[in-house]
Amino acid sequence: MKKSLLTLIIYLCCTQVYGQHITLLNLINLTSLNNTQAGNTLTSGKTWGLQYGEDLNGFVVEHYQTSAPRNRIETIIIGTGIKTASGAILHTVSYVSPNPQDVINLTSQAKGAGLIQNFKGADKQDNIYIYESFLYHMVVRLAIDNSKGVIDVTQKQVFVE
């Protein structure tokens, strides 16, 4: 019995488990925040770290990554968006993972977030799925060769009469 317990303890100490670091609801909520607020939210748990920022089409785009082995690094990109005629910015948040299963797990949470699948198709490189709700547009791209998965969540412009 002691030998089995010791073997189990050694196995658990040597095994590293890499879980997914964000939920779809958290990803959606990041779209309503500015860069500072989203950056503070991501880095407050010490899971995500700012890797670099860049100026892209007048937007400050920031890349946050997890600290994991190279083949498990997840990336969140904030700061991109669309400027409307009224001057409002519709933010886009992107999630990239080298493990397509991470993206599939997030996609399975879409129904609970109120998103409905409107499109399913493919191009030469990716399987593409599009989900919509009243407030959000989500594009999921899964590489056909299983090399990565990407989710882009964008706020939608809401017209109130």
- Residues 43-93 pLDDT 10s: 988 889 999 999 988 889 999 999 877 778 999 999 998 888 888 889 999
How much is the pLDDT for 129? 97
CATH of domain 22-155: 3.30.1460
Q: How far apart are CA 153 and CA 138, in angstroms?
A: 4
Predicted TM-score (pTM) of the model is: 0.84
Label residues 114-146 b or e (16+ Cβ within 10 Å = b).
ebeeeeeeeeeebeebbbbeeebbbbbbbeeee
Q: Is 13 helix (H, G, I), strand (E, B) or coil?
A: helix
User: Which of 34, 62, 64, 31 lies closest to 47 in space, CA to CA?
Assistant: 64
Number of other residues whose CB lies within 10 A of the CB of residue 93: 26
DSSP assignments along 15-48, one per residue: ---------HHHHHHHTTS-HHHHHHHHHHTSSE
- Residues 120-148 pLDDT 10s: 999 999 999 999 999 999 999 999 998 99
